[in-house]
Amino acid sequence: MRVRNYISLFSGGMGLDIGLERAGFNCVACNEIDALAVETIKLNKPELPVIPDSVERVTLATLSQSAGFDVSGIDLLAGGPPCQAFSVFGQRRGLHDGRGRLIFEFFRLVDEVKPKAFLMENVRGLHSMPLVPKGVEADGSFLPEHTEPGSLLRELIRLFERVGYRVDCYLVNSVNYGAPQIRERLLCIGSRFDIDPDFPAPEFSNRPSDNLPPFRTLGDVIGTGFCDPDPSVMNFSQRKLKYLAMVPPGGNWRNLPVDVQKESMGKSWYLKGGRSAYWRKLSFDFPSPTVVTMPNHAGTSMCHPIDLRALTVGEMAAVQEFPSDWKFAGSPTDKCRQIGNAVPPRLGQVAGEVLQRLLQISETLAPLTGKPATSGRIVHIRPHVRTRSYFKDGEVIGGHTGYYDPRKPLAEERQLTLDIATIA
């Protein structure tokens, strides 16, 4: 496998970069504005040139100076612009949030550097985000279609195509590729060649009818025999621990008596939606839910299955599949933020292997001179995965019951599995 050079933007805790390096890429320069994340990079990769500045001030010239050579036409430019503005769990202000506008800085640098390929990672919410979100005041200078779901990503794809890139976007889930964590992400792969990146189908499943190995679980990574490299913890308050003590492994707020639910949740108890992360206690028998930045919050609880506490820094890093010797700078709160915001290295590796194949094929082809024949695909590869049932048919489900309930007749279970991932 040929080693190919690349540039990393929005590097953070370097989860994406670890994966790309496993796939044979060599980082020649990176950019990160967060001081503690920069310290993390230097702790683990002291020789790697880092530009500790806003991406808005990064140019082809500064990247070339940092790398020590002209990076024009480099093999790959990769990064995950801040995603909070697009998250379905946030306020979804998109470009009206300063962080959201940084996604167009990524485009600017692709246009300046003109890499052979790029990889842009983000939350799944980006694919449904409008250019102009609902409820945001605007000056009337936008078109009606700019308020439609997905118009932001379509506009971004249009811009990339205008400067000579074919773009294919994949909605994927890390658990489908062997990660012990359910984490939906959007991976946008662009290249100067009209080549289908051919992103792989899921390799693991919780559905027997798929005939694939079963999902890896939390117990596989932090169960018996786990040696914690960083037992520091961002723990729950005594009040929260009181309620979590009443929840069985694999359960959540629904396992509490109704009066305790109301007492502990306040106004949140009356909200719509499942709120499955509220007073959640994890289970060794299932993949971890998405690792979050604040594991000790009642509504994003990541309580250990056996010990009455939040997952430690070392356990969270293991679930994300960071190397056991990877160090994070700062307090437990700072470390959890870096880990929770990181791309799982496994997804970086899978995407990196796709890019390696694409770039190898491209060596015999001429770059695009016009619009690609296939334009702006958005491919769903079983991104939405459910493994746990907390409530079904009016009944609170026990902590170790899976989503595909074995009590149901086989024919009915097969009907449930007809949502096989579409790879269109």
Q: pLDDT (tens digit, 9 = 90+) per residue, 215-271?
A: 999 999 999 999 999 999 999 999 999 999 999 999 999 999 999 999 999 999 998
- Structure confidence at residue 417 (pLDDT): 35
Q: What is the pTM of this model?
A: 0.90
pLDDT(112) > 50: yes
**pLDDT class of 406 with cuts at 50, 70, 90:** low
Q: What is the pLDDT of residues 295-325, one digit of tens each?
A: 999 999 999 999 999 999 999 999 999 999 9
- The span from the CA of 50 to the CA of 327, in Å, is 17
- Structure confidence at residue 128 (pLDDT): 84
Q: Which residue has the higher pLDDT, 95 or 46?
A: 46
Q: What is the pLDDT of residues 65-79, one digit of tens each?
A: 999 999 999 999 999
The CATH-assigned architecture of domain 4-206+343-380 is: 3-Layer(aba) Sandwich (3.40)
- Structure confidence at residue 419 (pLDDT): 34
- Structure confidence at residue 422 (pLDDT): 35
Three-state secondary structure readout of the chain: CCCEEEEEECCCCCHHHHHHHHCCEEEEEEECCCHHHHHHHHHHCCCCCEECCCHHHCCHHHHHHHHCCCCCCCCEEEECCCCCCCCCCCCCCHHHCHHHHHHHHHHHHHHHHCCCEEEEEECHHHHHCCCCCCCCCCCCCCCHHHHCCCHHHHHHHHHHHHCCCEEEEEEEEHHHHCCCECCEEEEEEEECCCCCCCCCCCCCECCHHHCCCECCCHHHHHCCCCCCCCCCECCCCHHHHHHHCCCCCCCCHHHCCHHHHHHHHHHHHHCCCCCCCCCCECCCCCCECCCCCCCCCHHHCCECCCCCCECEHHHHHHHHCCCCCCCCCCCHHHHHHHHHHCCCHHHHHHHHHHHHHHHHHHCCCCCCCCCCCCCCEEEECCCCCCCECCEECCEECCCCCECCCCCCCHHHHHHHCCCCCCCC
Q: Which of 27, 30, 83, 336 is catalytic?
A: 83
Q: What is the pLDDT of residues 12-36, one digit of tens each?
A: 999 999 999 999 999 999 999 999 9
- The span from the CA of 216 to the CA of 180, in Å, is 5
CB 11 within 8 A of CB 18: no
Token pair 């050579």 is at which residue?
A: 69
Q: Which fold has domain 218-338+390-416?
A: DNA Methylase; Chain A, domain 2 (3.90.120)
Numbered ranges of CATH 3.40.50.150 in the chain: 4-206+343-380
pLDDT(87) > 50: no
Question: Is 83 labeled as catalytic in the residue annotation?
Answer: yes
Numbered ranges of CATH 3.90.120 in the chain: 218-338+390-416
- Structure confidence at residue 403 (pLDDT): 80
pLDDT(411) > 70: no
